[in-house]
Amino acid sequence: MGRLDQKVAFITGAARGQGRAHAVKMAQEGADIIAVDLCAQIDTVEYPMATLADLDETVRLVEDHDRRIVAQQADVRSRDALRAAVDAGLAEFGHLDIVVANAGIAPMGDAGNSPDAWRDAIDVLLTGVYHTIDVAVPSLVEHGTGGLIVITSSTAGLKGIGRSLDSVGPGFFGYTAAKHGVVGLMRLYANVLAPHRIRVNSLHPTGVNTPMIVNDAFARYVEANPDLAGAMQNALPVELVEPEDIANAAAWLCSDEARYITGVTLPVDAGFTVR
C-alpha cells in the first residue's frame, strides 16, 4: 500500500528535474498523474529548457510503476491551457486530490539582464502558480474529500540572496520577488481552503541537481560573480540536493502523516537558511 493510493496528482513542470521527481515519487506511492510542461524555450532563459521527449520519458517512468498518466504540453502562463489539461485528467481519472505547482525558470546571466526577464519570471513563477491552483481548486472542492496543494518556492523565497548589484539583474529580482510572492499565495489559500479540508504548503529548496542550475550558462554566471557563489553555500557539507529529496518532502506533505500541517514554509535546504 502506498501513502497516496487512489489519489490523482496534477503536476506542472513535469518533463524533467523536480517535476519529474514529483511525478515518479507520487506514482511510487500509488497516485495517478496529470502532467504538464511547456516543452519549449523562453527567450530570457539561457539554458536549454525541457522538450517533448523529456515529457515522454516522464510518462514512461510513471507507467513503469503501473500508474496511469495524462501528459500534455501546456504553458502555465495560459490559464486556458491549464484548464484544458485538468479537464483531460478529470475525464480520465474522475477526480483530483493533489496539486504540485512546480513549473519554474531561472532567467539569469546575460539573458536575465533583459528587461523582459522580470516579466517572464513573474509570469511563470508567480502568475503561473496562481493559474495552476485557480484551475484546480473547483475540482478539489467538488470532490469533497479534502486535498493537498504544494507550491515550489525556493530559499530565495525566504532570503534575499545576493551581495552586490553587479551580480543580479531583472531576472534575478523577478525570481526573488516571485518566490516570495508565492508564499503569500500559499498563506491565503491555506486560510480560505481550510474549511474544505484542503491543506496548502510551500517547499523551499536550496540548489537542486537539475538542468535549471547544472548547465554551462549557470556555471558561467557564477564564475563571473564569485560574491554570489559565496552567498549560495549550504550549512551542511553538500553543494546540491537531489530532486528526489524535494519529491520525498512533497509526498510526505501530501500524505496522512502530515494531515494537520498547512500554511507552512518547509525548507529542504541543507541548512542554507540558517547560515
For residues 77 and 124, give the distance between their C-alpha atoms in angstroms, rounded to a whole number: 6
Reference 61, options 86, 33, 87; nearest CA is 33
Relative to beta strand 147-152, strand 265-268 is unpaired
For residues 185 and 188, give the distance between their C-alpha atoms in angstroms, rounded to a whole number: 5
Cell numbers for 230, please give them.
559565496
**Taking CA 232 as the corner, what is the angle to CA 188 and CA 214, rounded to the nearest 5 degrees?**
95
CB 202 within 8 A of CB 186: yes
For residues 167 and 144, give the distance between their C-alpha atoms in angstroms, rounded to a whole number: 48
221 is catalytic: no
Q: Which residues on neighbouring strands pair with residue 202, listed in sequence order?
A: 151, 265
Relative to beta strand 98-101, strand 8-12 is parallel
Catalytic residue among 47, 130, 175, 260, which?
175
The H-or-E segment that residue 60 falls in is helix 52-63
Reference 98, options 126, 67, 66; nearest CA is 67
Q: Which residues are catalytic?
A: 175
